[in-house]
Structure 1
């Protein structure tokens, strides 16, 4: 793995020079052809992180080649990071995942279909609260989170919270993030920096708030499969406004009160981070060995046992929607019963979270036993077909993972 890492790093060093020389040699007409979309894959285990694939351009206009740790909007892997922040806050004794979330929010949160049933953070993190994205899930600065949840379109009736049928709902994330703010007294982006990013030596941010010029200069622009810009083009980065803001409201966090509306940080999908740094987060979840434990033994057990319990349901919880064993913002990926998602097609059980938004597909998949763990993204991917969306739904993503397995020495091709 060390030899492959050195080779990949050397490749990363010479890639900008090659790109510059190529731009001089290629006729002008050929330079008008859109560059290939960006894709990055890194492998990791407990001890090391190995860069495997970095190809394509982080921006079509500048034609700058993507590098292994260039920051990208990782979409729903952000939910897993949110769950880790919640577990860390639990370890500090400031949070109870099974407590009525209304106690943190300061107002009563109830499903109109089950007005006597409390909603907990565990319900929200596992998509078992009865929420729906049918009425939307963006609550801009200046708007009311409480009013959004009072809309009947935010709920559906498939059972009381905790027993409700699985429905993947981004709307739960603003509630969780706002509750974390209320429990800690800290703004959500700063809380995650303190609890997750800083302890792991990670450079990351939410909606570019606090990332700084160095990361902004390496931002990966997201494109749809048509070539249209979807997110994070240079003109959409600071000093442009990067948070959702209600009409007539100033784009400023100066007067924001933690515990009111953390939706402005897009906790459901707004983390910007490079794949080398994302792999560091994956490494922290292997176990609790070492002098410094990222999670307590109690938190680690709760995190993993929640997935085991979800898998043991009949059918495995979330599997009918393509999320086998979903619990606390994580699920299981394996091509073996009872979970059948063949992204890697190697029979290795991995857990983590995938992402799909703005033409991007991403994943953080951790192998606790035998097998290699991966952090990756690829861009300009066609939108979901509307059928059950699994990690293996996109052929290009599947092909990328097969190449990564070969480079990691787990495929003979």
Structure 2
């Protein structure tokens, strides 16, 4: 299939947004889909702590499901079941949401994606190996800035990002590829983007994203869990891995399928989340990384569907235009395609990229659903045991959201058959697509 055919230039107008789940799934399809997804969650080879999913067909939500437990008490505290409005820390899908906030500033004329980002940061950001080449927001959004994560990508609020970046730690910059030369996935880039957004607006990142994106969409979500209202906090999932009880909680790369579920992040069973240290005296524009523009958004699959439908609807939500259609076309236009030598695909995870979004060509070896048929744009997430998918076809207005809240064994030992995803992710996506969108039974 031609990679370029799925341009947003062909995005169909879907009319005014309807209430979520105005069109239910076919009665005959839902029990079979429920059963297939439950089988994935409870598969002895790789169990999931929780799962929340959503499917949209032709612009309308047709299926949502929740499985497993949002909190696991391990016999000490009561378990809590996942529900369709359970909030998850969605990991790197947060980057796409951050990009949407940035694009609102672009529309307002406050940002030029091709300007030297130094002007927005208030200090001269340069790769010391390529000192004459500016780093731009476009290069950050497309992971071609030459920044690297090896020296870290998050610091306490008391640490200025300027003090981290100006010394030029050799591990922070590529010595072989300058800005614009080479794709290397980089979380640090989004810390820089979030900090620039703060300095441009004078607003703290978490509050800025509330104003720019979450509040206009009527979404209860946030990059700062300490500000979630009590009702939302009660719905926040804890992310898990199974491991030996002797393994340190911070050791996030150890699995033991015979061990207990160990909380990795967002366990607030004993006490509510605390604000980031130093927040009372923080000056916006110094260091947005504690709010994690790169991965820290807490949101439900249902509300991710609200974002997805707004994008499918050309930037309109409930009759109100939030984005110009041209802005979204610009954001989702292809910026980079892996050709074997122009970037690190990380084993096939990254094959094509827009501005702050991954793109999923419907080609062998990189198909989201078994047998193909679903070419999409969006983003993936992977952190603290969670795996997440936000993917939609802007031409046909079909979309899938998957939030898996923890695994019992290493997903890398459970590789997929037709993509770089884990096999359990492939099974979930294929079941959703076949039942809810294509109307066919998914293979086992």
Q: Same fold (TM over 0.5)?
A: yes
Structure-1 separation of matches of 2:421 and 2:98: 25
Correspondence for 1:92: 108
Structure-1 separation of matches of 2:29 and 2:286: 45
Structure-2 separation of matches of 1:199 and 1:6: 33
- Select the residue among 201, 208, 227 that pairs with 1:210: 227
Moved more, 151-160 or 350-359: 151-160
Report how many aligned residue pairs link the two structures: 375
8 Å CA contact 2:240, 2:265 repeated in 1 = yes
Structure-1 separation of matches of 2:132 and 2:415: 32
Correspondence for 2:345: 320
Secondary structure in structure 1 of the residue aligned to 2:187? coil
Correspondence for 2:38: none
8 Å CA contact 2:91, 2:294 repeated in 1 = yes
Secondary structure in structure 2 of the residue aligned to 1:190? helix
C-alpha RMSD of matched pairs (Å):
2.8
Structure-2 separation of matches of 1:123 and 1:68: 36
Cα displacement string for residues 109-135 of structure 1 (whole angstroms, at most 9, x for unaligned residues): 000111111111111111101111111
Shift of 1:279: 1.2
Secondary structure in structure 2 of the residue aligned to 1:82? helix
Correspondence for 1:13: none
8 Å CA contact 2:358, 2:380 repeated in 1 = no
Structure-2 separation of matches of 1:282 and 1:158: 38
- Select the residue among 66, 72, 76 that pairs with 1:54: 66
Structure-1 separation of matches of 2:192 and 2:424: 34
Unaligned ranges ≥5, structure 1: 11-34, 244-250
Secondary structure in structure 2 of the residue aligned to 1:134? coil
**Residue correspondence of structure 1 range 277-316 to structure 2 within 5 A:** 277-288=303-314, 291-305=319-333, 307=334, 309-311=335-337, 314-315=339-340
8 Å CA contact 1:79, 1:173 repeated in 2 = yes
Secondary structure in structure 2 of the residue aligned to 1:115? coil
1:166–1:184 CA distance, 2 compared to 1 (3 A): same
- Select the residue among 84, 88, 93 that pairs with 1:68: 84
TM-score by length of 2: 0.78
Q: Does 1:258 align with 2:269?
A: no
**Residue correspondence of structure 1 range 330-341 to structure 2 within 5 A:** 330-336=357-363, 340-341=365-366
Correspondence for 2:98: 82
Shift of 1:36: 5.6
Shift of 1:181: 0.7
Structure-1 separation of matches of 2:26 and 2:198: 39
TM-score by length of 1: 0.83
1:237–1:162 CA distance, 2 compared to 1 (3 A): farther
